[in-house]
Amino acid sequence: MKNILNILPYEWQIKETSSFCSVSDIRIKAGQPLILFKEGTEKHIEITPTLSQLSHIVQKASENSVYSYIDDIRQGFITLKGGHRMGISGKAVYEAESLTNIKNVCGINIRIARELKGVASEVFLKLISDGRIHNTVIISPPGGGKTTLLRDMARISGNTKNQRPVLIDSRYEIAAEHKGEISLDVGERTLTLSGYRKSDGFSHAIRTLSPTVILCDETGSEDSEYLNSAVNCGVSVIVTAHAASVAELSRRMDLSPFKNAVILDGKERKAQVTQLK
Amino acid sequence: MKLTGIFLIILSGVLLIFKIYYSHVKRISFLKRLISDSEILKNEILFMKTPVYDAVANLKSNGACDKFYEEILNSLNGNFSVKDSFSKGFKAVSDILGEKSESVFTDFGNLLGATDSDGQKCAFSSFICGLEKALEEAETEKKEKLKPRCAAISFIFTAIILFVI
């Protein structure tokens, strides 16, 4: 939480320090009260952020170095130290048909990363047989706990004998790498490729890191090529995807490489393993 | 007694001339160092994408402009913006640089880190250009003002010595 408080204006830190404890999301909109989400409830705080305060938060989150985070900003987020994701809303700047920047930031959503060790223990046992991890897709709507589960799977496989996991952490959220240091526990054998695009990450991992399993967050239909190439090389994959059900996901993504789907119920915090073929 | 007095007058004259000369030399060497450091900073920022704080912290070990960088780093640590930090950094060395070049530093502080790489490239070009101009001015000032000042001081002290004799 200290990493998040550090980027907020000083007067907010003093006024509402206790309120920020154990929140899951902080929603900041210019001219509206600050909203904190905590275990399914929300709390309105008597703080009305201004546009300049939002700009200050973005500056602080990017360590006063926008150029250093511009690729992330183009995708609409900045990952904070500790793996927390700060989503930003504002006005898009396009150049030659591609999004180059976001200006006039008027809304921010900070998602607090949770490290829950052991949440994947039960599920992981169902995904492994004869020492081999089966290709698995973890499914849930946003905020359902996919990243938390994937991080714990990386940790468990990284602490399992004869496994050589490689984690592709494109958004620095899973291992929360910061200046070369891995902040969250992803297991002693897990090698992390931080900031890699998925295409480069898969290719790098397969060619040079001798993986038994590759773990990757937030895949979509555009990633089928890399997933297939990994599977066809004899490497297992565990990935996450946004969807409420297998049927919903199968409409936009090829699920043929996967043997299992783990469906997360965000409300009841339950994980259900389904065999796909 | 007279000899001691003359010796003290000559000594104080020499010291005064040295002080004036040293302030010019210090300013020029400071600006030269800053220009070469700016090139390093520019490369760190444009090619390595190093955040401002770390890039400035790497320069600190170079020694010559430590006071300036130290003030910037302390201000950045203390929740100040880059603009305010550069302004504070400048104030810490304004006795060396003179108040005239303040806008070069505050303008650069306003742009540093606030834009993408293309914006940073422009910010550095403008900053280095401003520093080079300040260096040129300092060198011209040294040439044009140092000699008449030294001559005036020598004349005054010689007059005092003659008066004493």
Radius of gyration of chain A (CA): 19
The per-residue pLDDT for A173 is 86
Residue A144 has pLDDT above 90, yes or no: no
How many whole angstroms separate alpha carbon B15 and alpha carbon A191? 64
Is A66 within 8 Å of B114 when comparing Cβ atoms? yes
Question: Are the C-beta atoms of residues B109 and B84 closer than 8 Å to each other?
Answer: yes
pLDDT band at B99; cut points 50, 70, 90: confident
Provide, as residue numbers in chain A, all residues whose Cβ is less than 8 Å from the Cβ of B52: 63-65
pLDDT band at A31; cut points 50, 70, 90: very high
Residue A45 has pLDDT above 90, yes or no: no
Question: Are the C-beta atoms of residues A103 and A93 closer than 8 Å to each other?
Answer: yes
Residue A95 has pLDDT above 70, yes or no: yes
pLDDT band at A268; cut points 50, 70, 90: low
Is B50 within 8 Å of A68 when comparing Cβ atoms? yes
The per-residue pLDDT for A277 is 66
Is B116 within 8 Å of A56 when comparing Cβ atoms? no
Q: Read off the pLDDT of each residue in A100-123 and give the average, rounded to a whole number.
A: 87
The per-residue pLDDT for B124 is 94
Q: Read off the pLDDT of each residue in B25-29 and give the average, rounded to a whole number.
A: 87
Residue pLDDT, tens place only, A72-84: 888 889 988 888 8
- pTM (two decimals): 0.73
Closest approach of A12 to chain B, Cα-based (Å): 13
Chain A: which residues have CB within 8 Å of chain B?
10, 56, 59-60, 62-68, 70, 100-101, 179
Q: What share of chain B is helix, strand, coil (3-state, %, to 5)?
A: 85, 0, 15
Residue A108 has pLDDT above 80, yes or no: yes
Lowest mean pLDDT among A16-20, A197-201, B16-20: A16-20
Residue A17 has pLDDT above 90, yes or no: no
**Cα distances (angstroms) measured from residue A222 to each of A114, A170, A199:** 28, 15, 10
The per-residue pLDDT for B63 is 64
Query: Strands A136-140 and A236-242: what pairing?
Result: parallel
Residue A125 has pLDDT above 70, yes or no: yes
Residue in B with minimal Cα distance to A6: B79
ipTM score here?
0.74
Residue B134 has pLDDT above 70, yes or no: yes
Residue B73 has pLDDT above 80, yes or no: yes
Provide, as residue numbers in chain A, all residues whose Cβ is less than 8 Å from the Cβ of B76: 64
The per-residue pLDDT for A156 is 95
How many whole angstroms separate alpha carbon A80 and alpha carbon A57? 11
